[in-house]
Amino acid sequence: MLLAVQHLQTWFRHRDQPIRAVDGVSFEIERGETFCLVGESGSGKSITALSIMRLLPAYSVERLSGDIRFQAADESPRDLLSLSESEMRQVRGGRIAMIFQEPMSSLNPVFTIGEQILEAVRLHFPELSEQEAWERVMQALRDVQLPDPDTRVHSYPHQLSGGQRQRVMIAMAMACEPDLLIADEPTTALDVTVQREILRLMLALQQRTGMAILFITHDFGVVSEIADRVGVMQRGKLVESGPTQQIIQRPEHPYTRQLIAALPENLARREAHDVKPESAQPLIRLSRLEIHFPVRKGLFRRVVDQVRAVDGVDLEITRGEILALVGESGSGKTTLGRGILRLTEPTAGAVAFDDTDITRLDRSDLRRFRRNMQIIFQDPISSLNPRLSIAAILTEPMKMHGIGADRDERLSIARELLKQVQMDEESLWRYPHEFSGGQRQRIGIARALSLDPAFIVCDEITSALDVSVQAEILKMLLELRRQRGLTLLFITHNIGVVEYVSDRTAVMYQGRIVEQGRTEDIVNRPQHDYTRKLIAAVPRIDFQSPA
C-alpha cells in the first residue's frame, strides 16, 4: 500500500456554515497503479489532491481531518496530516510530485526550463555535484521526449508550445523520482493529438519507474485509456470506486450511471440523422474566404507578415443541416465562424447568405442583415453583460430590429423564449451573476433566438460545461432546430459531440478545410492523413470488451 486515505474531510470557512468540499473520502493506491478520480466541477476532486499535498491556504480551511497514510519506498508509513511543515516539504516534490492543468502558469516565466528543473533536483538531492545534477536534468528532458533537449533546456516557458510545456512539467516532477505523481487534469487544456502523446508518455514512465499515479479528470475517455481503478466523486463524497472496466460497464451507483449515460457517445441516436434536407440550395456559401491578421513591427507599425488564420475556405451549408467544424486550437475554426458573421472582417473571398454577398454590405445594411445570423459563445461567464437584466439582454436586440410592437409584447416574446430554453420566466428580472454556467448558456441561446435567425454559429458552446449539462443543452438544441428549422455551424473539438449532433462534418487544419463529408464517413472512414490522426487520438471508451 503506497497511499491510504481514510475518511478525509476538508471544510472551508463560509459565513455561518462551512462548505464541505471533501466530506469523508477514503481510497487506497497501490505501488505502480493508476487511480483516477472522476467527477463534475465542484465535486471536490482537486481539493482532495491539494489536501493530500497539504497545499491549501490555512486561513480558508476550517477543518482538515482524517488519516493520509503514505509509505515511501524504504520507510515506515507516515500520516501526512501530522507531519511538520518542514517534513512535509521533503515529501512534496521528493516523494509526491504534482502537475497541474495549465502548463503556462505553473512554470515561472523569468527562468529557463533547465534552471527550474535544476532547482528542484538540487533541493531534493543536495549531495549531487553540479555536473551530476545537470546530467539528471538532461536525462529527465530526454525521458519526456522533448525534441532537441540540448537547446530547449535553455528556452523560456513562453518559447514552448502547450504540449512541450506539459512535458517539461512532467520532467520536473519525474526528475526527483517520486513514488506518487498527482496529475490534476494535465491534458484538459491540450489538443487531443497532444493529449494522446502525453498520456502515452505518462504510462511509459510509470512502467519504467514503477511510480503510482493519482489522475484527476472529468473525461471518461481519458479514464478508460489509462486508469487501473476509478473513483467517482459527487459533492465531496466518493460515491463509487472499483476497477475501470467494472465502473464503466456495470456502474452500480445511480450518479455514476447518470454520468455515463450523459456521455455524447451514449445519448440516443437521432433517427433522422441522415435525412437529406429537401432543398439542395445551400443557405451559406463561402468561396475562397481568407482572413489574415497583419503582424506589425517597428516604429511605424509596418506590416511585416500575415497570419493566415483562414486561408482560402470553400464551404457550403445546406438549409436545415448542422455542419460540425472540427479542428485543434489554432486551426482557425473560431476565426472562420466570426468571419462568416463579419465580426472579424474577411480579407478576401465571399460569404453568400442565400443570394446576398455579406462581405459587400455596407454598415447600415449589415446591421439590418444581422438578424438573420446569430452566434452563441463558448464562455458562459463573459457572454452576458453583467450590468443588464435578462429582460434587457433579450429585448434590446428585438427593439433594434423592430420585433414586437411595444415593450409588453417584446417581454412576452422573451418569456416564450425562456420557456423554450427551459428556464423559469421569473429569470427575466434577474441578473447574469445569479445563474449557473449551464443556465447562462441557455440564456445565450435564447438571446440568439430572440431575432428569429435562420443561421446560428455555435462556437464551442458546451466545452465549458459538465457532461450532464452538456447533454441537456445538446438535446435542447436539437429540439429547437427541429421546431424552427435552424441551420447551425457547430464549432467544436469534441468528436463525441460531433457524432451526436451533426449531419455533416468539415475538418479544419492550418486555416484550410482538409476534408468534409457526412459525419459517419468522416468519423468511421477518414480519408485525409490529418483527419485519421485526429480521429485516432480521440480517447475511446470501451463499452463492449469483457471485464
Indicate the DSSP class of residue 433: G
Contact 68, 1 (CB under 8 A): no
CB of 330 to another protein, least distance (A): 17
When the beta carbons of 430 and 528 are compared against another protein, the nearer one is 430
Q: Which amino acid is at 492?
A: T
Contact (CB, 8 A) for 104 and 97 = no
Of the candidate spans 25-33, 312-320, 386-394, 470-478, the one that interacts with another protein by CB under 8 A turns out to be 386-394
357 with 351: CB under 8 angstroms? yes
Based on the shown chain and the rule CB under 8 A, indicate whether residue 369 belongs to the binding site for another protein: yes
Q: Interior CA angle at 366 toward 360 and 370, to 5°?
A: 130
At 7, is the secondary structure helix, strand, or coil? strand
Candidates 107-115, 188-196, 260-268, 374-382; binding stretch for another protein (CB under 8 A): 374-382
Judge contact between 169 and 99, C-beta under 8 A: yes
**Min dist. Cβ of residue 170 to another protein (A):** 30
SS3 432: helix
Closest distance to another protein from the beta carbon of 285 (Å):
20
Q: Using the rule CB under 8 A, is 400 a contact of another protein?
A: yes
Give CA–CA dist 393/414, Å, rounded: 10
Taken as a whole, the chain contains a residue count of 547
Measured from the CB atom, the residue of 92 and 447 that comes closer to another protein is 447
- The verdict on 370 binding another protein (CB under 8 A) reads yes
Q: How far is the CB of 439 from another protein (least distance, A)?
A: 9
Contact flags string 468-507 toward another protein, x per CB under 8 A? ----------------------------------------
- For residue 384, the minimal CB distance to another protein (Å) is 6
Helix, strand and coil in the chain, % to nearest 5: 40, 25, 35
Distinct helix (H) and strand (E) counts, the chain: 19, 20
Interface pattern 321-340 for another protein (x via CB under 8 A)? -----------------x--
Q: Are 519 and 504 in contact (CB under 8 A)?
A: yes
Picking from 248, 250, 209, the residue whose alpha carbon sits closest to that of residue 226 is 248
d(CA 468, CA 471): 5
Query: Rule CB under 8 A: is residue 57 a binding residue for another protein?
Result: no
Q: Which candidate, 165, 244, 169, 247, places its Cα nearest to that of 205? A: 169
What is the separation, in whole angstroms, between the first and last Cα of the chain? 24
Rounded least distance, CB 390 to another protein, Å: 11
Which residue's CB is nearer to another protein, number 56 or number 366?
A: 366
**CB-nearer residue toward another protein: 207 or 356:** 356
Burial of 57 from C-beta contacts in 10 A (0-12 / 13-18 / 19+): exposed
Q: Exactly one of 212, 263, 341, 514 binds another protein (CB under 8 A); which one?
A: 341
Minimum CB distance to another protein, residue 19 (Å)? 9
Rounded to a whole number of angstroms, the minimum distance from the CB of residue 349 to another protein is 20
| Cell output for 466 | 459538465
424 binds another protein (CB under 8 A): no
Interface region with another protein, contact rule CB under 8 A, candidates 10-18, 80-88, 254-262, 318-326: 10-18
d(CA 235, CA 233): 7
- Within residues 343-362, the interface with another protein by CB under 8 A covers 343
Site stretch for another protein (CB under 8 A), options 32-40, 104-112, 375-383, 464-472: 375-383
Q: Which residues within the stretch 110-149 sit at the binding site for another protein (CB under 8 A)?
A: none
Q: Smallest gap, in angstroms, from Cβ of residue 13 to another protein?
A: 7
Residue 13 interacting with another protein (CB under 8 A): yes
Site size with another protein, rule: CB under 8 A: 40
Which residues in this chain contact another protein in the complex, by CB under 8 A? 13-15, 338, 341, 343, 366-371, 373-375, 377-379, 382-389, 396-397, 400-401, 429-431, 433-436, 444, 447, 451
